[in-house]
Amino acid sequence: MIWLESFIGLALVVISAGLMLVFALPRFRQGRSTLRPITALQRLRRAIGLAVEDGTRLHVSIGKSSIFSATNASALVGLSTLERVAQLSLVSDRPPVATSGDGTLSVLSQDTLRAAYRIANVPEQYDPDRGRLAGATPFSYIAGTFPIIRDERVSTNILVGNFGPEVGLLADASDQENAFTLATSDALASQAVLYAVAEETLIGEELFALPAYLQTGVIHQASLRLQDVLRWVVVGLILLAALLAFLGVTLL
């Protein structure tokens, strides 16, 4: 039965990838519905614009998950968010800075920033010091991020990735500096802490919608449509299972 579960999982991944590519085609993008408003993301876009106007810095913290771990999806979301934030703040006097708690993520954040400046045809503005490894352990990561929040004129902190409950310390430090904070995580414990401490919090699958709302690319828009399709499939399967159970039909 293990091989059957593996086959079903592989088939689901392949079908999902195929649907994303289909939804990304121009003919399927025409006439798509407007994304539902999320207040936290509306405030984030406004905070990014104000930071550029005021000459303050944007800080994106992308968590401590290795790109090779099971929680790497949140790390990829963090990198996509970092790329879009860098594009939106190219004209700022203070370029954005990224922190992470994993060496691989640190290198990828530097490469993401380099790509953003190269696409904008201003590669000379790239500074590898903007992608930093704040610490290799959970609490050293928090301790290494504190000076950035407090000493580098950061007006907006975006915490997106895999964190532990200690991430609440970063949200609290941001609040003490009167900076705007948008926080989201794939871990339930950190979601609970951030909901109580952070100024704005994204819950559940809203984490994976962040790049789409920042208009990072058409593939992220397609992923939202795929999420809707899969959500309805799950609802249908639940209703079907309930109906079969009511009729006394067992599949196994």
Ordered by start, the domain boundaries in the chain are 37-216, 218-252
pTM above 0.85, yes or no: no
How, if at all, do strands 57-61 and 180-185 pair?
unpaired
User: What is the per-residue pLDDT across 155-208, written as a single tens digit (0 to 9) for each?
Assistant: 999 999 999 999 999 999 999 999 999 999 999 999 999 999 999 999 888 888
The pLDDT of residue 230: 82
Distance CA 193, CA 171 (A): 9
Taking residue 240's Cβ as centre, other Cβ atoms within 10 Å add up to 10
Distance CA 50, CA 52 (A): 5
Judge whether 113 and 105 are in contact, CB under 8 Å. no
Amino acid (one-letter) located at 23: F
Distance CA 218, CA 85 (A): 16
Q: Supply 241's token pair.
A: 């299972």
Residue 23: pLDDT above 90?
no
What is the Rg, in whole angstroms, of the alpha carbon atoms belonging to the chain?
A: 20
The pLDDT of residue 201: 93
The pLDDT of residue 12: 74
DSSP 120: T
The pLDDT of residue 29: 60
Average pLDDT, the chain: 86
Residue 216: pLDDT above 90?
no
Tell me what percent of the residues of the chain surpass a pLDDT of 90: 41
Residue 244: pLDDT above 80?
yes
CATH of domain 37-216: 3.40.50
**Residue 16 class from Cβ within 10 Å (0-12 exposed, 13-18 middle, 19+ buried)?**
middle
DSSP string for residues in 34-102? PPPP-HHHHHHHHHHHHHHHHT-EEEEE--S--TTSTTHHHHHHHHHHHHHHHHHTTT-SS--EEEESS
Q: Closest Cα partner for 59 from 102, 107, 116, 109? A: 109
User: What is the per-residue pLDDT across 95-147, written as a single tens digit (0 to 9) for each?
Assistant: 899 999 999 999 999 999 999 889 888 888 888 899 999 998 999 999 999 99
